[in-house]
Chains A and B, each alone.
With several copies, the nearest count.
Chain A
Amino acid sequence: MKDTPELRSIAIYSREELCGGYFVLWIWDDELSKQCSPGQFFEIRAQASFHDAWDSQRIPKLFKPISVYDNSGGRIGFFIKNVGAGTSALARLKAGDMLELIGPLGNSFPVVSGKRVLLLSGGIGYPPLSYLQKEIINHNLIFWLHGGATQADVFPCDEVWTVDGSIGKQGMVTQGLEDVIINKKIEVLYSCGPLPMLKQASEIAFRHGVEHYTSMEAYMACGIGVCHGCAVPIGSHDDWDYLRVCKEGPVFNANDVLWSEL
C-alpha cells in the first residue's frame, strides 16, 4: 500500500462480457499491480475531460469505487456490474479506451494462514473475495458461499444460493451460513455484499465466535479521505465514531461495526 495514490490514465487492455450486465475490464501496469493487496479498490471512471465533456453536452461525474478483482502478472481486473450512470459509462468502454484511476485506495483484508476460512459474498461483493481467495488459498482451507438474485448473479464458488432458486439453493445466502460455519468448523469469515446480508452474517458469526472481516460499501465523493461522505459507524455502543470506508476501510472487523446505526 502506497501512501500517495496517483491519478492515472491507462488504456484498457482487454474486456470480458458476462451475462446479467456484468463485465470485466483489464489493465496492464506492473507498477500499480505491485501496490495492490486484496480488499483494496480504485476510484475509476471512463475518461472525462471537462472541456470535451461540455462540447458533447456531458456533465463530468464522480469516479466510482471498484475493488481489485484479480491481480496477476501485472494485470489488474475490475469486475463490474452496470447499475447506473457511472458504471454504464464504464460498460461502454472498449479495449484501447482510456480509464482514469486513482488508487489503490483503502486498507486490505488481514491475511491469515492455517485456518478454516469461509468467504461469503452477495451479488457484486464477489470481486474482492476472489482476489483474496487467490492470495490465501495455499495457506488455508477455504469454503466459498455466494448468493445472488438470480442465475446471472452467481459466479464460481463452492455453494450457491439464489433468491429466485434459478440455480443452487433457493433463498438468501445467509440462510446457509450457520450450517456451513458449524459443519466446516469455520474459524475466520470474510464477507462482502449488500448491507442486510453483512448485518445478518455478523450476528451469526458473532454467535459462533468466528473472526469476521467485512468489506463495506458506501457512496463516495473523494475516495481519499477528505469529504467524510463514506462514513460508517465504528466502535462500541458508548464510544463510536464515523470512520471512512475509503480510508480506514473498506475492510472492518465486523464486531466493531455498529450495525444498529446503519
Chain B
Amino acid sequence: MSIMTTKLGKLTLDSPITVASGTFDIENFHFINQKCLGAFVCKTITRYPKKGNPTPRLYESEAGLINSIGLQNPGLDLFVHENLPMLRDKLEVPLIVSFSGSSIAEFEEIMATLETQSGIAGYELNVSCPNVDNEGIAFGVDPEVIHQLCSRLCSITRREVIVKLTPNVTDITAIALAAEAGGADSIALINTVFGMAIDWKTGRSRIKKGIGGYSGIGIKPIALALTYKAANAVKIPITAMGGIYTWEDALEFFWAGASMVALGTANFIDPLSAAKLQEGLSAFLIEHRYSMRDIIGKCIL
C-alpha cells in the first residue's frame, strides 16, 4: 500500500487526486501520466443529448472562471456506444461516470443502463449544475429529494455512489446528511458557485445566459469552509474541489476533512497541475512521514 493510498467509500485508490467533472478528458493525458490520478471522473452525461447553452459561455474574472456550458453532452446512448468503449480502452485508472437527470426516474434509467456496462468503478450524481434550469440543481438544494434519490439509486448498484453537492445552499450539512442517510458512499463538493460578470463599458453580460458558474482560486475559501462543515457532519468520505491548484491547496482540504481532492479549473491554467500536485504531495508526506490518515480531518482551530 502506497503512502498516497486513500479510501473513498467502497473504493481504495492509489492516489487521493482526481479530476473535476467537465474539466478533464482523455486529451489531457497528452500532458501527464494518468497514473497520478486515483480515479478519472468524466464529463456529466444526461439521458438525451444536450446542445448546451448559447454563447459566449466563458469569462475569466480577476480570480477565477465563470462558465455556462450547460451540460453539453452526447447523451447516454452515444456515451455507452462510443465514449465508454474508448475510455475502457485507454484508462488505466478507475472510471467514475458523472450523470444528471431531470427526475429521479431519469436518474434511475441512466444508472440501470450503465449497470449493464463493464469498466465503471462508480457514479457521481450531479445534482448541482448551476447552468441548466431543470436538471440537477433543483435536486441539490432539497434534503428530502436528495435522500429519496440516493435511496432509490443505491439500491440498484453495488458500485460506489458519489453525490456531488452545490455550494449554493443555506445549509450544506442538511444536504450532506440526507445523502448519507440515503446510502451514498461518499460526497463530492463543491460544484461551481453562482457568478456573473458584466462588461463595464457596454453593460453587456460576459456570459450569454447572465449568471454562470464560478470556479477557480477565488472560491477556495468557500469550498474549504463547506468541506470542513460537511466533514464534521457526516461519516462518509468527501472528495473536495473548488480552487485547488497546488499541493499546498490540496493539503488545506485534507486537513479540513477531505479524503480525496479534485482539480478543475487548474487543469486549464496548468495542464501539468495534477502531476505537480501528485509530486508535491508525496514529497510532503515522505518528508514528514505522514500517511493520508494522519492528515485527513486533523485540522486544529
Contact = CB atoms under 8 A, between A and B. Distances in A.
A and B touch in the complex (CB under 8 A): yes
Interface in A1-17: 4-7
A6 to B, nearest CB: 7
Interface residues of A, number: 35
Contact of B65 (A51, A62, A225, A261): A62
Interface stretch (B145-153, B159-167, B265-273): B265-273
Contact of B67 (A218, A221, A233, A242): A221
Interface in B58-75: 58-60, 62-63, 65, 67, 69, 72
A128 B31 CA distance: 26
A50 to B, nearest CB: 5
A102 B23 contact: no
A4 B27 CA distance: 8
B25 A219 contact: no
Given A102-B271, A226-B24, A232-B55, A54 B62 contact: yes
A50 B57 CA distance: 25
Contacts of B58: 219-221, 227, 229-230
Given A60-B245, A228-B69, A262 B55 contact: yes
A95 interface: no
B30 A5 contact: yes
A231 interface: yes
Which of B54, B72, B271 has the most chain A CB atoms closer than 10 A to its own CB?
B271
A203 interface: no
A52 to B, nearest CB: 12
Contacts of B54: 261
Contacts of A226: 23-25, 27-28, 267
A83 to B, nearest CB: 12
Interface in A103-149: none
Given A222-B268, A228-B57, A242-B55, A6 B24 contact: no
A102 B270 CA distance: 11
A229 B52 CA distance: 10
Interface in A27-67: 48, 50-51, 54, 59-63
Q: Is the interface of A mostly helix, strand, loop or mixed?
A: loop
Given A4-B30, A218-B55, A221-B58, A50 B67 contact: no
A231 B269 contact: no
Interface in B72-103: 72
B267 to A, nearest CB: 7
Contacts of A221: 58, 60, 65, 67, 265, 268
A7 B265 CA distance: 17
B39 to A, nearest CB: 17
Nearest to A222: B268
Taking residues whose C-beta sits less than 8 angstroms from the other chain, chain B's interface range is 35 or more
Contacts of A24: none
A221 B56 CA distance: 12
A262 to B, nearest CB: 7
A10 to B, nearest CB: 16
A85 B268 CA distance: 16
A224 interface: yes
Contacts of A262: 55
Given A7-B272, A60-B269, A62-B65, A231 B72 contact: yes
**Residue in A86, A218, A228, A261 with the greatest tally of chain B CB atoms within 10 Å:** A228
Q: Shortest 6 CB-CB distances between A and B: which pairs?
A: A229-B58, A219-B58, A4-B30, A226-B25, A221-B268, A228-B72
30 contacts: A6-B30, A48-B270, A50-B245, A50-B246, A50-B270, A51-B246, A60-B245, A61-B269, A63-B268, A85-B60, A102-B271, A218-B55, A219-B56, A221-B60, A222-B23, A222-B268, A225-B25, A225-B27, A226-B27, A227-B22, A227-B23, A227-B268, A228-B69, A229-B57, A229-B69, A230-B57, A232-B55, A242-B51, A242-B72, A261-B54
